[in-house]
Amino acid sequence: MKINKEEFSKIIDERRDELVALTKELIQIPTLNPPGINYLEICEFLQKRMQRLNFECKLIRAFGTPGDSDKYPRWNLVARKEGHSRGKSIHFNGHIDVVETGKNWTVNPFEGKEINGKIFGRGSCDMKGGIASAIIAVESYLTLNPKFNGSIELSFTADEETGGYGGVAYLAEKGFFSPDKIDNVIIPEPLNKNRICLGHRGVWWAKINTFGRIAHGSMPFLGDSAIEHMGAVLREFEHNLYPILDKKRTNMPVVPDGAKKSTININSIHGGEKEPEENFTGFPAAVVSDECSIIIDRRFLIEEKIGEVKKEIFDILEKIKKSRNNFSYSIKDLHEVIPTMTNQNSPLVKNLSESIYEMIGENPDYVISPGTYDQKHIDRIGKLKNCVAYGPGILDLAHQPDEYIGIQDMIDSSKIMLLTIDKIL
Ligand SMILES: [Zn+2]
């Protein structure tokens, strides 16, 4: 069935109030994570909405995943509708969780207040506005083309903000993102209406410990300070690792510019006795620390191999061991994700890109995210390559006080999603 661009545009404009109302209703269910609350409430709300259009809905609890308990169950919803004949499929995935509010809000973060064409609230931009835009696009498509071919699927998933293990990773393990079920996935994260995010850099987290020998702090020469040993590690990083990472540039279109190279962050450091609490009036005991640990967060490029990334660190630790008296260490892998980048010439990216041009007259920017998001699980566990993030909102506003989403941005990207559904199916 041929529908013209004007009809697509008109139907979304007509549904402006509905889009605003849905965004507000989603914000009004506070799905704070951690600890992960109201997941069942929001899934049931969305289930009711999708059932109105006869989507087949599955409520799925990710039993036994990190954080899942009877008090804080990890619920997810998958809604699928088959068309009148077999064909391509499109899937929209949105995370239902939001991060804590923090301080300095000037509005109630869970009211969804509309001020000057913007809706304010925690999760408005990341990513309940994106979820609402996708739902309105799907509903509008079904109004215009009830006898469509192929299938449309939406999933609303838990825990993206804490790694996605109780959400997309769990569903991917259960086969929901296998290429025989789904051809194309769009994740409406707030990347802006004229940007298509093709993937992300890689990440490796590890914990490094150095060891010493405890002694009285007044006679440190009788002990061996693990903190001093860790100091040597950090110095070596500064002199012989940072300059090397700085020179590794990628051809991936990572934004912002500073993230176009390899980076490492010392995420935390702890050594010796625990510092006394603020309201504790005593003093710590005088001891030489016998253990010190850091957690490193190494972000790497598609041009690098994970084995090389790890070897760089091992080599530095081994080098110190050879040159420094009594230096001993341990290193433990915590978490790793390989970089991913969807092919710019895939039909999904081409259709989306054409839709952006036809609806708002701009050629899209192709970007790569400095950090990972749920695409990692779809790629790694689901083995599904045709996946991008595309949605309304300004990424910088995510996780901030007075987070908001522009209503016109939602309308525009909803139109673009609608046109993309039509092109794909
Ligand atoms: Zn997000």
pLDDT single digits (tens) 134-191: 999 999 999 999 999 999 999 999 999 999 999 999 999 999 999 999 999 999 999 9
Share of the chain above pLDDT 70, in %: 99
Q: What is the SS3 assignment for 301? A: coil
- Per-residue pLDDT, 51: 97
Gap from CA of 404 to ligand 1 centroid (Å): 13
Give the span between the Cα atoms of 301 and 287, in whole angstroms. Answer: 42
DSSP state for residue 161 in the 8-state scheme: G
Higher pLDDT, 417 or 280: 417
- Per-residue pLDDT, 284: 82
Gap from CA of 65 to ligand 1 centroid (Å): 20
Give the span between the Cα atoms of 210 and 292, in whole angstroms. Answer: 5
* Residues whose Cβ atom is located within 5 A of ion ligand 1: 126-127, 189
- Residue 30 near residue 37 (C-beta atoms within 8 A): yes
In 3D space, the residue among 184, 176, 79 whose CA is nearest the CA of residue 422 turns out to be: 184
User: What b-and-e string marks burial along 404-413, b requiring 16 or more CB atoms within 10 Å of the CB?
Assistant: bbbbebbbbb
Gap from CA of 126 to ligand 1 centroid (Å): 5
Q: What is the CA radius of gyration of the chain?
A: 25
Question: Residue 89 pLDDT > 60, yes or no?
Answer: yes
DSSP state for residue 179 in the 8-state scheme: T
Gap from CA of 1 to ligand 1 centroid (Å): 34
Alpha-carbon distance values, 101 to 12, 97, 104, 111 (Å): 31, 12, 9, 13
Q: What is the SS3 assignment for 273? A: coil
* DSSP H or E stretch at residue 10: helix 5-14
Gap from CA of 183 to ligand 1 centroid (Å): 22
Mean pLDDT of 276-296: 88
Gap from CA of 95 to ligand 1 centroid (Å): 7
Give the span between the Cα atoms of 141 and 121, in whole angstroms. Answer: 28
The mean pLDDT of the chain is 95
Q: Copy the structure tokens of residue 259.
A: 């993230």
- Give the count of beta carbons closer than 10 Å to the beta carbon of residue 108: 14
Mean pLDDT of 196-206: 96
> Considering the domain 202-337 in this protein, what is its CATH number?
3.30.70.360
- Give the count of beta carbons closer than 10 Å to the beta carbon of residue 219: 10
Mean pLDDT of 53-69: 97
- Per-residue pLDDT, 2: 64
- Residue 418 near residue 10 (C-beta atoms within 8 A): no
CA 331-336-339 angle, to 5 degrees, is 140
Gap from CA of 273 to ligand 1 centroid (Å): 37
Gap from CA of 326 to ligand 1 centroid (Å): 46
Gap from CA of 188 to ligand 1 centroid (Å): 8
Gap from CA of 48 to ligand 1 centroid (Å): 23
The structural domains of the chain, with segments of one domain joined by +, span 5-200+340-424, 202-337
116 CB-contact burial (10 Å; exposed 0-12 / middle 13-18 / buried 19+): exposed
Q: Model confidence over 33-44: pLDDT tens digits?
A: 999 999 999 999
Residues in the chain: 425
Alpha-carbon distance values, 19 to 108, 278, 303, 320, 413 (Å): 20, 47, 41, 59, 12
Gap from CA of 191 to ligand 1 centroid (Å): 10
Q: Model confidence over 324-359: pLDDT tens digits?
A: 999 999 999 998 999 999 999 999 999 999 999 999
- Per-residue pLDDT, 276: 76
Gap from CA of 134 to ligand 1 centroid (Å): 14
Mean pLDDT of 274-296: 87
Give the span between the Cα atoms of 387 and 349, in whole angstroms. Answer: 9
Gap from CA of 186 to ligand 1 centroid (Å): 13
Long-range contacts of 138-143 (CB under 8 A, 24+ apart): 138/53, 138/92, 138/417, 138/421, 139/15, 139/53, 140/8, 140/11, 140/12, 140/15, 140/414, 140/418, 141/418, 141/421, 141/422, 142/53, 142/81, 143/11
Gap from CA of 373 to ligand 1 centroid (Å): 7
Q: Copy the structure tokens of residue 99.
A: 């991060």
- Per-residue pLDDT, 1: 57
Q: Which CATH superfamily is domain 5-200+340-424 in?
A: Zn peptidases (3.40.630.10)
- Per-residue pLDDT, 398: 86
Question: Residue 243 pLDDT > 70, yes or no?
Answer: yes
Give the span between the Cα atoms of 288 and 215, in whole angstroms. Answer: 5
Task: Name, in order, each residue with C-beta under 8 angstroms of 354's C-beta and a sequence gap of 6 or more.
Answer: 423
Question: Residue 103 pLDDT > 70, yes or no?
Answer: yes
Q: Model confidence over 153-168: pLDDT tens digits?
A: 999 999 999 999 999 9
Interhelix angle 129-144/407-424, rounded to 10 degrees, is: 50
Q: Which residues are paired to 157 by β-bridges?
A: 95
Gap from CA of 403 to ligand 1 centroid (Å): 12
Question: Residue 317 pLDDT > 90, yes or no?
Answer: yes
- Per-residue pLDDT, 193: 93
